[in-house]
A and B are shown apart, each in its own frame.
Chain A
Amino acid sequence: MTEKRGFTVALAGNPNSGKTSMFNALTGARQHVGNYPGVTVEKKWGQVRHGQQTIEVVDLPGTYSLTAYSLEEVVARNFIIQQRPDVIIDVVDAANLERNLYLAVQFMELGAPLVIALNMIDVAEARGLQIDVAKLSQLLGVPVVPTVARGGKGMKELLDAAAQVAAERKEWKPLELSYGHDVDQALAKLVENFSGQSLAWGPLSPRWVGVKLLEGDEEVIRQVGGDPGLADKLEPLRQKLADHIAKTADDDPAGVISDGRYGYIGGVYRQAVRETRARRLELSDKIDKVLTNRLIGPLFLLAVLYGVYEFVFWASEAPVAWLEGLIGWLGGAAEATLPDGFVRSLVVSGVIDGVGGVLGFVPLIMFMFLAIAFMEDTGYLARVAFLVDRVLRGFGLHGNSVMAMIVSGGISGGCAVPGVMATRTLKDPKARLATILTVPMMNCGAKLPVYALLISAFFAAHQAQMMFALTLVSWSIALLAARLLRWTVLRGEAAPFVMELPPYRLPTWRGLAIHTWERTWQYIKKAGTVILGISIVMWAMMSFPGLPEEQAAQWEQKVAAAASDEAKATVEQDMAQAQLAHSLAGRIGQGLDGLMSPLGFDWRTNVALVGGFAAKEVVVATLGTAYSMGEVDPEETEGLAQRLAREPGWGPLKAMALMIFVMIYAPCFVTVAVIKKEAGSWKWALFSVAYTTALAYVLALAVYRGGMALGLG
């Protein structure tokens, strides 16, 4: 009867084993992304039709092992123990069999029903590895199916094997390995005191629990601790046995147990695999000889970053212009069809301008993510982490932090939302927090219009140099801020770096598309929801309360009395400005005057900066309104730039102070929400707003006052 019911498959495997390709090949586009309950580990699931059955496939996080070492491993293990999937498919890299089997053996020790997908079998054969699949399957006692997930080969056979295991195996059968005399004896003693008792966690073999206790697995020790009688009995025994093993073997029990697993794997490997060719340098190693070379490596890295920059701006130019045209046309259409009044003002100034300003960046951001996905999928990003680790460690970060920094705008035009999410690859909680708290200082796509406006107004002769300088400034400040955080609120030892450098591979279009789209979609969601709400709120704050009756009437008369169209436009602009000064936003801006005037900012700039708390895209639009330009399109800053250049009190120095302030102060609302999610508490989210704003104030003050002292004002 199981034929009709379908079953659940958990997809496990090492990182870089082709697990993601396998998941995509199995589920196609029918996949869902979410999080495992209560943790920031991504969960993907999807369905696949197989004959009469619908199979539910859950993608477990990629792990090397099944200890309580990392969040991903705990999540994967808990899913298997608590959800009891009908089958686990372990995706194993055939060319790297010994290390990959380490995870498979741990599933076997647990006793869960397992099928091994011997993936990338073509690569293994090309390297001269002859794997006797039948022999391997017989030795391990587990079905083994050769596959090439990228080409979709072997999928049917794999599902056949999984269906058979799901139909036949109802019992978990733990593999009992020998870990050497000392450990085996200790296990026997532990199990004596434990047999017949099960944990609240689910029925598990006493021997497995014993192994985990000797390994010092914190999670299992806590589970056992939930039963006080049991814990009191087992804990002293565990300590005694562990100490005894440590003394006799001159090694900690976890080490001895791990060696036992590798011993078993080595035996299986020697019988099932023939290496027909001597050790030689693979193509990937030859590429590495060049790309991680001491001299060429860093130069090539800079060239790649520059290339990405060029590519993104070149590729996105046309679609950005096209989108802006569309948004402009929408604004015009709304302008033409809606009657004059608040509704029209809301739709045009609030909704279309606000959201349109953000959506206009989508192509830029999408190509940025495409470039980063390309670097990730080829395996180059791991080399970047390798190259820069020593430098980043000096600032209390980790080689892997570089990824988040680049996504957030280390190459101008990223976005901190996916950037903060990209810190999930960091295992070290403190380095991760330090990265999360500093990446919003990078020059994301939303800050670019602000820079573009001020540079074209005050540094028109050196546009490219100024952009490059701002990039360097943001990197320096972010790194120094990270160092400061790691010396103060985030003190602690650095976590291990030990990291695989996967072989170079040509990415698949499908993989790139999925990767790019996931991140772009996060950005679009931000534009469609948060920014929309904020735009409306900002619009309301700038529109209400309106001018008192008699003042409004006076303005109307002036407009009516204007001699020419030109004079009329001028009067209308003056009226808009008076109206803004009277509004809630205007009053807040004026109220901040005392605080902000030392930076050289006037009340109009303050209004723009208040709006910028929500999203930095708002700054330019608000400046436009505040300087009574009427509708200012963030792209057509020409008029506003000229206006600012003429404005008394504005100059290159003030522009510089403002750019620094915008670069550093508060992450936008969406980023703050993501920080809350990723850091796990509002405490860090609020801290990120407070400390960056304070830092921005100090730095902008230093720039402005320092410049004044040097006579640059």
Chain B
Amino acid sequence: MNAVESLRRLKVGDVAVIVKVAAGGELGRHIRDMGLAPGVEVMVMGRAPLNDPVELKVKGYCLALRNNEADHIMVRLEGRP
């Protein structure tokens, strides 16, 4: 069982499962509206030139978010290429 860490720490190609969305208010609502909920699998597709934002694959679609937003999403690493 891997430790729970923040989504920001994942590397390109990593596959992880969301454990908790630790954001309230507008940001939390928006993250959840986009399908990022506990139990959902995410894969890190790539990062923009300055490492930020990060591109994820969630439930078959691509989503971009900033690192300071990824901080609020706790994940458990499932696989590293």
Contact = CB atoms under 8 A, between A and B. Distances in A.
A617 to B, nearest CB: 38
Interface footprint category on B: 35 or more
A150 interface: no
Interface string A276-295: 00010000110011001111
Interface in B5-57: 20-21, 24, 26-35, 37-40, 43, 45-53, 55, 57
Interface string A80-109: 000000000000000110110010000000
B61 A389 contact: no
A391 interface: yes
Nearest to B26: A69
A67 B26 CA distance: 10
Nearest to B40: A262
B47 to A, nearest CB: 7
Interface residues of A, number: 46
B25 to A, nearest CB: 8
A95 B60 contact: yes
Contacts of B66: 389, 393, 496-498
Given A285-B57, A497-B65, A497-B66, A259 B37 contact: yes
B29 A254 contact: yes
A64 interface: yes
Interface stretch (A499-507, A562-570, A583-591, A696-704): A499-507
Contacts of B58: 99
Contacts of B35: 98-99, 102, 262
Nearest to B28: A255
A69 B48 contact: no
A65 B37 CA distance: 14
Contacts of B63: 498-501
B4 interface: no
B80 interface: no
A500 B53 contact: no
Nearest to B50: A390
Contacts of B21: 255
A127 interface: yes
Question: Interface residues of B: mostly helix, strand, loop or mixed?
Answer: mixed
Nearest to A269: B59
A256 to B, nearest CB: 10
Contacts of A279: 43
Contact of B61 (A259, A295, A390, A500): A500
A294 B43 CA distance: 18
A272 to B, nearest CB: 15
Contacts of A64: 33-34
Contacts of B29: 65, 67, 69, 254, 258
A48 interface: no
Nearest to B65: A498
Interface of B: 20-21, 24, 26-35, 37-40, 43, 45-53, 55, 57-66, 69
21 contacts: A69-B29, A96-B60, A99-B58, A99-B61, A102-B35, A254-B29, A258-B32, A258-B37, A259-B37, A259-B38, A262-B40, A293-B46, A386-B55, A390-B50, A390-B51, A496-B31, A497-B64, A498-B27, A498-B34, A498-B65, A499-B65
Given A259-B37, A294-B48, A498-B31, 13 more contacts: A98-B35, A127-B60, A255-B24, A266-B39, A289-B45, A297-B49, A389-B64, A497-B66, A498-B64, A498-B65, A500-B34, A500-B61, A502-B62
